[in-house]
Each structure stands twice: as C-alpha cells, then as structure tokens.
Structure 1
C-alpha cells in the first residue's frame, strides 16, 4: 500500500491506495529441474524443485551467488515467492540484467 497525502483531502487525512505489482511470468530452461532456495545463493536450503517446463513469476530480483546455467553466468537471483529464490541463469527473461524491481 502507498499513502497519498495529496492536498484537498479533508482534514489532512491520508488516503491509502493499492499499488498493483505486476509480476511477469518467464519459462525455466527446458530440460532442467531447478532448485528453489530459501535465499539468493547456493548456500541456502533447497525448499522445493521446479519441474521441467515450469514457468515462474518474478516479483523482485537481488544479487547473490554467481551461477552458470543455460542462459549464461549471473549473480542475479529471482524471487518467485516468500522465501523462494531461483538463479536467473536458469530463467529465460530475455535480458542479462534486471527485469523486475530489486528486492
């Protein structure tokens, strides 16, 4: 939520407005089962494994362990849910950089 403190609101009241975060979906590299980790790095626990052909919704991205995968070498990690990160080197975003806000 963001807070709108625009003039013209009676009594100086704050009006809360919903902020819509649109997270785009991207395919995981074909032929790979990708580890989903609890944090942005290979030292974090594996919380689940994505099946082959999975698509992920990236909510935000951050830096972490440098990983080499089918889409190159990257230190960008994609947050796909609360406490769920995958290396961007295994997700086809069409970019070597950030495609979502930073976490």
Structure 2
C-alpha cells in the first residue's frame, strides 16, 4: 500500500472477504444450532402436551362413570321415595281418629 492511496490492496480485500465469509458461516452455524435446540424443545412440549391430553381424557372418562353411577343412585332414591310415599299414603288412609272416628287426611 502506498502512502498516498487509501484503497486497500488485493490481499487485504481477500483477507477481509475471508473473514466476512467465516463470520457468516459461524452465524449460520449458530442459527442452525439454535433452530435445532428450539425444534427439540418444541418436540418435548408436544410430547408433554400429548401425555397431558391422554391423562385428561382418562380423568374425564372416570368422571363420566362417577356421574353415571350417581345418576343411577338418584333414580334409585327417587323410586324408593315414590314407593315410600305410596306406602305412607295407604297407611294414612287406614288411620282413624279414636275420638271422632273419622279417617285421617294428610
């Protein structure tokens, strides 16, 4: 390089180009590495979400069974109530007042 010129020599330009190229390769490699890490993380999250969904479906199935059993128990209790009401009503028809001999009316 001469004293009066500000232009870089061909060798300096070549070194600058090589350094820029190396830096670009490093940045690209880092971006690829980060993308691979993000992809692995996303895959872990998908797997975790899939497992959580399976557990939620199992819990829902159990809850449905409990609900159906409870519904059957309520129906059974209602039937027993109806039977008891009929028995009480028929028993009430048989009750008479000893003082006036009239039948009891609920």
Q: TM-score range by the shorter chain?
A: under 0.3
Q: By percentage of residues, which structure has more helix?
A: 2
Q: By percentage of residues, which structure has more strand?
A: 1
Query: TM-score scaled by structure 2?
Result: 0.16
Bigger relative contact order (CA 8 A; separation at least 6)? 1
